[in-house]
Amino acid sequence: MDKRELKIDYFVCREGLPAGYEDLCRKAMEISQTAYSIYSGFSVGAAVLLDNGMVVTGSNQENSAYPNGLCAERTALFYAGAQYPQNGVKALALAACYNGELREESVTPCGACRQVMSEVIIRYGKDFDVIMVGKKESVVVKASALLPFAFVFSEKTAQR
């Protein structure tokens, strides 16, 4: 493939998800209820399936000093990296509720979360599925497709 071409590898699930992903999505929806989202009313839950079969969850945590909050995806991925550093990520499910109701449309990760996902790919040497859950449809995409021009630190880039 020409390096200038961009391949987006995703599929939309209206009738169901691959085996094992439904439970992961349910966990993401459940954990969204623990979000501290008093400013936006936008509660997000993330569930991360690790290589060892363990599922780690996280929810967004807002703060009145806006940049000090943290998204659900990063909460879950950072916890997984701290508690299970030897286990890579197989999949991440993401569910968003507004005022307690699951959104009709799926929600995509923010740019900071996409960059963290790209670092997880580098850390473990493999890509993983990101499942974005919505009432009408869910979208599954490879994490690498979410940020095709991710910043990658190396000795080569550091010397520039």
Q: Tokens 């000093």, residue? A: 65
**56 contacts 26 by C-beta, under 8 angstroms:** no
C-alpha 116/C-alpha 144 separation (Å) is 11
- Exactly one of 5, 30, 62, 73 is catalytic; which is it? 73
119 catalytic? Reply is: no
Task: Name residues whose C-beta falls within 8 Å of residue 90's C-beta, 6 or more positions apart in sequence.
Answer: 49, 50, 51, 128, 129
The residues annotated as belonging to the active site are 73
